[in-house]
Chain A
Amino acid sequence: MNATLHRIAILIRKELIAILKDPRSRLVLVLPVVLQSLLFGYAATFDLNEVPYALLDTDRSNASTQFMAQVDGSGVFTRVANLTSASQIGETIGKKRAILVIHVPFNFERDIESGRGGVVQVIADGRNSNTGNVAASYVTAAVDRFNTQWNELRGGPTPALTIQTRAWYNPNMETRWAMIPALIGALSMLQVLMLSALSVAREREQGTFDQLLVTPLRPTEIMFGKAVPPILIGLTQSSIIFLVARFWFGIPFQGSLITLYSGLLLFTTAAVGIGLALSAFSKTMQQAMLYTFVLLMPMMLLSGLTSAISNMPPAMQYLTYANPLRYAIDLVRRVYLEGASFGYLYHDMWPLVIIALVTLPMARWLFRHRLV
């Protein structure tokens, strides 16, 4: 037992020296995750600010001015043009000068006052459906506020139904709050997969793996020795992103660090298992790289990072069950934003354990049986 631990420690030491010896490779382990988490934090957001819109007000009434005050006062819209005729709409949207055109028709005020109800037309640029949708929904909110205000002032009847939305765990519904914690798993997985996928393949290609196999090191010992260094590096990277989330973006951490790190440990181990199995299967580094890249894109897409898993077709949803990142993102978001404890994370944890228990022994077996 003692001898086994000593041999594993020796292999871990060698791996860490090989990874960390070069100052440039040390930098590569730290700098990209910091830059990427900043990039995602600022660039990857579905929230809209300063939506450029154009107004075509053909009514020019008191009511239309009041309505537009609601739109402009919401703080998300910037008026880029005042149109004078409907014929200008096409060009305004077509040349992307505005995402929306709000058209207040002639007789708007008279229609409201007569009780028939006014109509506002919103023309959105559908080429980016997501942005168009969100922008249109902001206009709807402005319409709601206008209705309430109008009724209050005129003493009219209050509407039968009003909605009061309160978002739990992310009060302002900021994309960033959902995105950055998910990156704690997603970004570190990139490096972890790469490191582990190259580790055995590199040794195979350079002939050092034979040298390793003729030593008394057992396949199980090689497995542990090869798995621990990328796990450590993955956890370090997760910690860096965690610090960026907590202190740069100031997203409050609701859960316990012990829960978070237990989950991350399981996730990173599962990812390393996949990487090592790929690596042990590859004949060359080039093959290992190729397998990793082929795998990475679907893993990112089918993880719930950008699009909700519940919206995917059922077949795709089944695929996500084999993806460790799916569980990691759910787990980290819940620990981070919701403060979930172990009991609530059980269903995210056991699949990770299964993935690790399948892939790591597979890698272990391939070390000696994959002959190249």
Chain B
Amino acid sequence: MTKKSLWRRLADSGLLLPIVSLLLVMAVNIVFDIVSGNNPFNFFMVTLQHTTSNGNVLYGRIIDVLNRGSEAAILAIGMTLVVSSSAGTDISVGSVMSLCASFCCMLLAGYGVSSTSTLAVPLIVGVLGGILMGALCGTFNGTLVAYFGIQPMVATLILYSAARAIGLLLCNDLIVYIRNGSFAFFGSFLGPIPTPIVITAVCIVVMSLLLRKSALGMYIQSVGINPRASRISGLNSRRIIFITYVICGLFAGIAGIVASSRITSADSNNIGLYLEMDAILAVALGGNSLGGGRFNLAGSIIGAYTIQAITTTLYALGVSTTQAPVFKAVIVILIVAMQSEPVKSYMKKRRLARTAKEGGAV
């Protein structure tokens, strides 16, 4: 009983494969470092480095993965809930990030101002405004999906194409620069730790607590598995689907602020570009079915960091930015195949055969 505990528990929770995938990517780093004669654990090395602007800060490949993967991880939280409740994806999150960044910067700089070092409104107003804009976008998506019954892909396609343009409209077609140190905080460092890592951690903790301390998690899964039966059992299926889209939008807002803060500007055309795809991929890599129903938040987050780890690894290996997507694709194929049903059942059969041969009880 005790012997099978950790391994079996991981396998039962569905986290085994996502973790193995992540470890695999890390193993590639180790092999690479050994081959090139570096310290084999270079990937995990964290050092304190002195910077002029932020003092002593943590530095290393793993820190880089955690830092750069923040936006995808934050988006993956909301995406997981949306996928679970509605068996669909919110493809607008990348564009919504951009809109939120634009709105936040517009508030901070004032309409029509392209560059400012003094804030037009208190920082908190701009930031909250940006996040609320995300929630507003989520409300729009959620209304279309939950109350109008429009397919998620179609409903979110609207903001996918429009949100960036709305952002440009808000910024009067300018790239707004906020040259004020306080705004840069969300993309730089809190003490020695990169702020995005802290923000992501807070997002994860808050969401986990909400799922654990309320029945929301069960409601979402129940509605995702069988909305009709859920309704008969007293759940308001539409409202629950709606809530997941609002949450998803909210997190897109937070991710937008982080992305914007990193470059201290609202670059409508580049913030969050293609990031919705990373978020969806993270959910899938996390072992979640895109068909909705049961979800595993931890899996999605591991998935998000796996994607970032792949990217960071490829750059470390010296693969050029233009070719990286090709290698990324190959790795993703491997990971997805590993989690596919035929491979899983083959592994299960082998395990059963092995235990049968050993004559031990299962």
Same assembly: no
